[in-house]
Structure 1
Amino acid sequence: MRIAAPGARTSAAASAGRLAVKVPEITALFWVVKILTTGMGETFSDFLVGHLNPGLALGSGATALAIALIVQFRSDRYHLWIYWSAVTMVAVFGTMVADALTFLVGLPYPVTTVGFSIMLAVIFVWWYAREKTLDVHSITTPRRERFYWSMVTITFVLGTVAAI
């Protein structure tokens, strides 16, 4: 048995708080699946809002997103179904938020586009200031993962409001 010097970190302690990479490789297949989840999110969001009370639909979307992200954050590494389920729920909820701000609150798309662009810029600046990287292949700590999913969520909402 090896005894560490006082103040030295053992390999277990050094790796505490670090995770295996929790995002997929960015390949052509990634973009195909990303486009499919975006389209599915838009369609499912429109279906829910059209068939439920908008407030109930938004609450249901927020709950499903929270569950998907809790499962994602608790996973120890990238798991295909967990990751893409979270992305799908981000797409559904992001569309709901964009539509709610426009149709329920009455904010015009140019206003929400500028607002979410500013939010995205703040996330990127804050992320870089804290982590000194924006590399998605370095999503190996809980804090980096929180930055990553914040960015993903805001970009989905921004993509919906800016596309109109």
Structure 2
Amino acid sequence: MTSTPLPSPTSTSGSTHRSPARARHLLSKVPEVTVWFWLVKVLCTTVGESFADWVDARLGVGLVATALVFTAVTAVVLAVQMGLRSYRPAAYWLTVVVLSITGTLYTDILTDERGVPLAVSTAVFAALLAVVFGAWWARERTLSIHSITTTPREAFYWLAVLVTFALGTAVGDGTLELTGWAPGTAVLLPAGLIVAVAAAWRLGLNPVLAFWAAYVLTRPLGANIGDWLASSRAEQGLGLGTALTSGLFLVAILAVVAYLTVTRVDAPGAVDEPGTR
């Protein structure tokens, strides 16, 4: 079974530039960007929203303490992921899930604990993401995920992923605050913007820009889906609750990751995309 390629970041410099000699060269650590990539990414972002809410309520120790716990978990998961020498679906997507939860908690701390307006949080995380991309580009001369073949590039990649989750949370919550839309209706905005980005990519938008724009937008999409499923019917949701929503999506992630592990359809190099190498 083959997958249809979707927007993926590429760069001429990504295939020719070499990091300093001290960088440890690896096989590609990131899967091919296909429909499977975006499917699991949305599932992970939904879990990030619903599970972060559930674990905060379950632990009952406050957002700050919960975020500290998940920061420690993030450090452990990243150490395992970055210690691998090639792409492993289970390790890669576990890292994405944990970063999704942690990034959500960081934004929630600013909003719920510190009272920072969502517009300010959005601006802060957008500026931080620009700094990460700027430092990444200055060192490596590429932001292409097809070039994640050294430890420094992988470190920049995962830092960017963490910030996109925090930024996407602020953007999604800010949109809900401004519009007052019900969770189900709110799903349509990021979904429509993702379609617009995909169309722009097809018409010639820079692939790297298209990829990272879609990557940020999948965060509010997944979060709004999670809110819609978990919210009570009085809040115009489906009333599944955060625990059941998290469980359903975790099972879905496990099923897809198991499929990808067996079939290797998303393994680096499994899909030929003209001009991407």
With normalisation by structure 2, the TM-score equals 0.53
Aligned residue pairs, count: 151
Partner Cα distance (1:124, 1:97) in 2? 20
Stretches (4+) displaced over 3 A: none
What is residue 108 of structure 1 aligned with on the other side? 117
What is residue 41 of structure 1 aligned with on the other side? 48
**1:84-103 equivalences in 2 (<5 Å):** 84-103=93-112
Matched, 1:150 2:159: yes
What is residue 72 of structure 1 aligned with on the other side? 81
Please give the root-mean-square deviation of Cα atoms over the aligned residues, in Å.
1.4
Secondary structure of residue in 2 paired with 1:113? helix
Deviation of 1:84 after TM superposition, in Å, equals 0.3
Note if contact 2:78-2:95 (Cα within 8 Å) is conserved in structure 1. Answer: yes
The aligned amino acid for 2:134 is V
Identity %: 42
Matched, 1:134 2:143: yes
Secondary structure of residue in 2 paired with 1:17? coil
Deviation of 1:143 after TM superposition, in Å, equals 0.4
Partner Cα distance (2:164, 2:101) in 1? 13
Matched, 1:26 2:33: yes
Secondary structure of residue in 2 paired with 1:93? helix
Partner Cα distance (1:96, 1:132) in 2? 31
With normalisation by structure 1, the TM-score equals 0.88
Structure 2 unpaired stretches of 5+? 1-20, 174-277
Alignment CA distance shift 1:77-1:100 (3 Å): same
**1:2-21 equivalences in 2 (<5 Å):** 17-21=24-28
Secondary structure of residue in 2 paired with 1:95? helix
Structure 1 unpaired stretches of 5+? 1-13
